Amino acid sequence: MKRGTYVLIIFLIFFFLIIVALASLFYLEFGKPPSVKSHSYLEIKLSGEIQEKSSPDFLMTFFGMSSPLSMHDIWFNFQKAKIDRRIQTIVLRMGYLQCGWAKVNEIRDLVLDFRKTGKKVYATFEETVDADKEYYLATACDRIIFNPSGMMFVNGIGGYIPFFKKGLDKLGVEYEVEHMEKYKTAMNEFTEEGFTASHREMMESLYGDIYTHYVKKIAKARGKSEEEVRALIDRGLFQGPKALEAGLVDDLLYEDEIQNVLQTDGRKYTRISHQEYAKIKPSSLGLNRGRKIALVYGMGQILTGEGFYQLMGSSTVARWLRSARKDKSIEAVVFRVDSPGGSAVGSDVIWREVILTKKEKPIVISMSDLAGSGGYWVAMSAHKIVAQPQTWTGSIGVVWGKPNLKKLYEKLGISAERLTFGDKADIFSTFRKWTDEERELIKEEMKWTYDQFLTKVAEGRNMSKEEVDKIGKGRVWTGSQAKNLGLVDEIGGLSKAIAISKELAGIPAEEPVRLVVQPKKKTSFLDMFLGQPLIKKDLGISPRLEKTIAAFKLLEQERIWAIMPFWLSPQ
């Protein structure tokens, strides 16, 4: 190698080290907690995707990008603002939320809890489109403020669920799927031309339960009867003055007029953003101190091996749970689950760590939007399970499938020669259908996995296998339904789960605790560089489509799935 090449390599290494040093200095300078002035208001812009725990934010901060909203940061900011004398009120800037009803309900409960301090919460809208979730959250606030020229859409829950079979037939794509059992409708949109009877029954039950809860809460918050609320929803569209006249909002104000509301005795409040306030350490306000409770996040589809943000790797989550179990300074574990399931094997690996942890210290599950199928598998044997009324859970069943692309290949002029050593070597090939013998073999394997699922649910929930099978069969339930069926113990959010874990650990309710969170926050460029790539470039596609693509990728890796339907999202 030429001398000039060596010099270039040394220069590049030296340049990289300088960049790392500058990045670290940048973080130390700009990552410092901001100063909060007295008479401040906390502004939270509730718009876009809300993750359970967002990806590490160092690179986003470094490049001037904003991290996605996370329930973790929202929860902590509400806890801090409750006792922070400098924060006089909270303003929720409402936009279109890309999350499920359970997350929205949890934020709504945080608002109601915050208001118990006597401090105010205002919700502001400029305009809404299909804003039932957003409006539901806003009804927990002291005042709902709407733009005088805006149009409010509060028009109910539901829409259209697409089925692609006819289109796939034209392309020459056939999905071969086996379900265990009739309510396990994952892949139905690819194998059916419309609802099956059991599919429709389940969907009507889920959305009907959420709608009933929605109407009751709005009626109570706005001082109306349920019949009045349903009539308003059936009308659906309200211009600003009409929304005020109907009692849906409290004020019609422009931004400068909103600022006039945010004051006491003529003294205007100072704004601090949600992102800035998140930098305030809870310990600086006397929070997050005392005995330790582990808070482990299990987010996204489940797969075997290592995971990363928004995908739950069995090895990764098992390691976190094992670490919390072996750490004698940790009194209890709260396992926060937001997952539609995935690999049955991966789910079982995590379940085993939950069982082992349960033998040594309290472990409580906190369910978010989704905790179904594999997401329920990892939760079913904890000491207690806490879910929101709108959490989608259960889905006790399994599914196995693959695409058969033979006709598509023929249309494209693609041919293939079979070369196998072993009768079943090409069983997952996309170049052919399953044989009858292979399909029967797959059914036998699935029956065994389903039986294991039933057995473990029965043991974990102190039920008989027959009882579990009756409410299983792949059926998804809301959290409120699941509680009535014995699949869930309590209705509530993260605060409720932490309170239960303290009680089980013998920690007084009034005593603060320190949360030891996994995954840990990356706090430097070096941490990010040495870790796995956690931030991906925006693909310019919808979150739902992105999750569907991730599910397809998972299908390529795993064989037997314990997963909810791809499109099944409580939005």
Smallest CA-to-CA distance from 396 within 199, 565, 184 is with 184
CA distance 94 to 517: 28
CA distance 485 to 488: 8
The answer for residues whose C-beta is within 8 angstroms of residue 287's C-beta and 6 or more apart is 79, 80, 83, 512
Smallest CA-to-CA distance from 217 within 132, 153, 120, 278 is with 132
**Per the residue annotation, which of 40, 198, 368, 373 is the catalytic one?**
373
- Residue pair 100/181 in contact by the 8 Å Cβ criterion: no
Q: Output the DSSP codes for 67-90.
A: PPEEHHHHHHHHHHHHH-TTEEEE
Structure tokens at 78: 């509400």
CA distance 561 to 556: 11
* SS3 assignment for 112-133: HHHHCCCCEEEEEECCCCCCHH
Distance between the two ends of the chain, CA-based, in angstroms? 60
* SS3 assignment for 220-273: HHHCCCHHHHHHHHHHCEEEHHHHHHCCCCCEECCHHHHHHHCEECCEECEEEE
Q: Would you call 329 a catalytic residue per the annotation?
A: no
Structure tokens at 528: 């990010």
Helix, strand, coil percentages, rounded to 5, for the chain: 45, 20, 35
Q: How far is CA 512 from CA 117, 290, 292, 331, 365, in A?
A: 18, 6, 9, 13, 20
Catalytic residues: 373
